[in-house]
């Protein structure tokens, strides 16, 4: 890889880690490895290590972070319930979703093509990056970064929800032949965090408005408000 391209990529990785994990990379080699899929030219032609070992490490680090969080948050929590919550938070679905939210595929060194990045590659890369942050900056800073990510994208509430309010609203509208439409009202920042305000209309009438760190989460929140009006749900 030409020096100019390599230095630009390294700068993008540094910005990405600072923005989403709140740490300044000290040993960039870990992060380059974390974003290197086994299909990359670096692995295939240069014999460089893929991110699979860091995936393995990051998986265990994530488990520890979430277990400790739940242990402290629910001092009287039932072991079975906490096990289920942990499973949801570190599930492939959760990590794929989180990877999509922060756009991790844009830095992946893979020969799959950006348009065809499989969802699981995002989740695998998330684990690898967590492993890289752990090796570079230690457990405390990794924990802080991961928990901020979970809070920023409301992962606990989104994954613990038993009802998909958006789907429920669409199904209700289809049965009654009433159009359900979501519109972005505005994009704004609150306490330095980028947010979307979303409005849901049913049959042309505003039924709910809410905001969130992504369009998807804002739609789900607005749909929840609408369902509360229609069904009395919470």
Residues with a catalytic annotation lie at 59, 127
Residue positions counted in the chain: 234
* 38 token code pair: 């086994």
Could you give the maximum distance between any two Cα atoms of the chain, in Å? 60
The dihedral over CA atoms of 202, 206, 210, 216, expressed in degrees to the nearest 10, equals 30
Contact indicator for 198, 182 with CB cutoff of 8 Å: yes
Tell me how far apart the alpha carbons of residues 96 and 141 are, in angstroms, rounded to a whole number: 22
Residues 6+ apart with CB under 8 A from 26: 136, 137
């Amino acid at each position: 890889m030409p020096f100019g391209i390599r230095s630009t990529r390294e700068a993008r990785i540094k910005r990405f880690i600072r923005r989403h994990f709140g740490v300044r990379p000290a040993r960039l080699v870990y992060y380059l490895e974390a974003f290197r899929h086994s299909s990359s030219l670096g692995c295939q032609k240069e014999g460089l290590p893929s991110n699979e070992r860091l995936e393995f490490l990051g998986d265990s680090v994530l488990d520890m972070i979430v277990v400790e969080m739940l242990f402290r948050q629910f001092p009287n929590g039932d072991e079975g319930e906490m096990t289920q919550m942990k499973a949801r938070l570190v599930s492939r679905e959760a990590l794929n979703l989180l990877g999509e939210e922060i756009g991790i595929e844009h830095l992946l060194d893979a020969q799959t093509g950006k348009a065809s990045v499989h969802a699981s590659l995002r989740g695998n890369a998330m684990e690898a990056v967590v492993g890289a942050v752990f090796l570079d900056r230690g457990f405390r800073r990794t924990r802080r970064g991961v928990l901020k990510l979970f809070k920023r994208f409301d992962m606990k509430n989104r994954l613990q929800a038993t009802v998909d309010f958006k789907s429920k609203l669409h199904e209700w509208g289809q049965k009654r032949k009433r159009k359900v439409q979501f519109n972005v009202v505005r994009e704004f920042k609150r306490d330095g965090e980028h947010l979307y305000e979303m409005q849901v209309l049913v049959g042309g009438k505003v039924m709910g408005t809410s905001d969130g760190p992504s369009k998807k989460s804002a739609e789900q929140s607005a749909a929840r408000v609408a369902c509360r009006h229609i069904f009395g749900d919470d």
